[in-house]
Amino acid sequence: MSYLVVGISHRSADITVLERVALDPEAATKLALTVQLTPAVSESAVLATCNRTEVYANVDRFHAGMDEVTAILSDITGVPLLDLAEHLYVHFEEGAVAHLFQVAVGLDSMIVGESQIVGQVKESLRVGQDLETIGTGLNALFQHALRVGKRARAETGIDSAGRSVVSAGLEAVGGFEGRRALVVGAGSMASLAAQTLLNGGAASVTIANRNYDRAVALTDRVGGTAIKLADVPSALGEADLVVSCTGARGVVLTEKMVRDAADGRPFGVLDVALPRDVDPAAARIPGVKLVTLADLAGTAGGSEHDIDEVRRIVGEETGAFEATRRAASVTPTVVALRAMASDLADAELARLERRLPGLDDVQRAEVARTIRRVVDKVLHTPTVRVKELAADPGGPTYADALRALFALDPATVDAVTAPKASQATGGDPA
């Protein structure tokens, strides 16, 4: 099986396209389940954030897997395949590994080095484990990606500024210290916004959500005052900064709502929702500073030195992961070879028993030990060497040579598998 990534992000499409393919948790779940059920795919995971929608899959055929994933992505998002295709990127095998590692360390983020992405990768792994769409292959990949993300942050200053989409956006609207803020939404982005505002000196923070109980729960965790979504128009009039980050499919804050609230005074609006929450026409209102995800693309996080170091770490970890995969790929061949040799030894011992029935138990045991010792010694060097050589690029060809030289049955080799997915998907290192 081989790794495949099919995705779309702020690097390949503008916000008007990204908001058409944005997935809520229910749609992301449907995408992962549907992809995993296709003939060419054995495992799947979906990474859906405010600036990317990506499908990770373990496939037995590249073209079939890519065609199936793109068709399902088009169907679930409702975006025609022809419109979608020009914005999609595809990574395969080592390229797919390197891409996820780059994502996990923040190199591929809208805010380079932003800190939220590790948690989002971790959540994608958890959801895939719960859905049982992730097996041993993707589990190993995502677990390693989390370790790479942690290593990059431990060994470099890539996220030393603690920047996120929210913090960069708040800077772009003119800061927030001493301002009266309204947060619309109660998800992870809203939670980050509320914490940033409260810890950074906002005069007040009000949190509104369609589900009032979720707004209350958020204020219980981080502070602030909860209100119902219906109270947003009046709350806008009492605020001078609003952060909107809901999962709604349509406009939440209309141009009229913002105009009435601003009334010509300085008024900051940060829209970090996908699809957008705020009517773009609000940007033309006198006194209003509207900042969207599109305005934040390419904002720098860590220094150039840190970014170079993180790139080095990604390259090093990609090589190490691929070497481990190559070494593991020869294990079934080695096991099958030893199983064949053991069967031959058993057959010869049975033949000896028939030819020399007079051997006592001690003699039979000594003959059996001798035969098995010889078999082990003959096989020791080639099996150790093939494992060592397999870690190098091209190494798996040595396993092919073993199969050809010893006429090993491919079906027997394929039957030697790694632990079942249900045994491998537990245990999150993060």
Tokens read off for 424: 């491998």
Question: Are the C-beta atoms of 55 and 46 separated by less than 8 Å?
Answer: yes
CA–CA gap between residue 35 and residue 243 (Å, rounded): 35
CB 171 within 8 A of CB 200: no
Query: For 418, which DSSP code?
Result: P
Q: Which residues pair with 205 in a beta bridge?
A: 181
Strand partners, 41: 59
CA–CA separation, 341 and 321 (whole Å): 31
CA atoms within 13 A on the CB side of 316: 11
C-alpha 274/C-alpha 21 separation (Å) is 9
Q: Hey, is 146 helix, strand or coil? A: helix
- The catalytic position among 13, 50, 197, 227 is 50
Side chain identity at 32, as an amino acid letter? A
Token pair for 72: 């399902």
CA 367 from centre of chain: 55
Q: Which residues, including other chains, have CB under 8 Å from residue 371's CB and lie 6 or more apart? A: 345, 348, 349
Task: State the sign of the Cα–Cα–Cα–Cα dihedral 362, 364, 365, 369.
Answer: positive
Task: At 251, list the tokens.
Answer: 């406009």
Gap between the terminal Cα atoms of the chain: 26
What burial class does residue 298 get, using C-beta atoms within 10 Å of its C-beta: 0-12 exposed, 13-18 middle, 19+ buried? Answer: exposed
CA distances from 50 to 6, 15, 21, 23, 117 (A): 17, 10, 11, 9, 10
Helix, strand, or coil here: 14?
coil
245 included as an active-site residue: no
Which residues form the catalytic set? 50
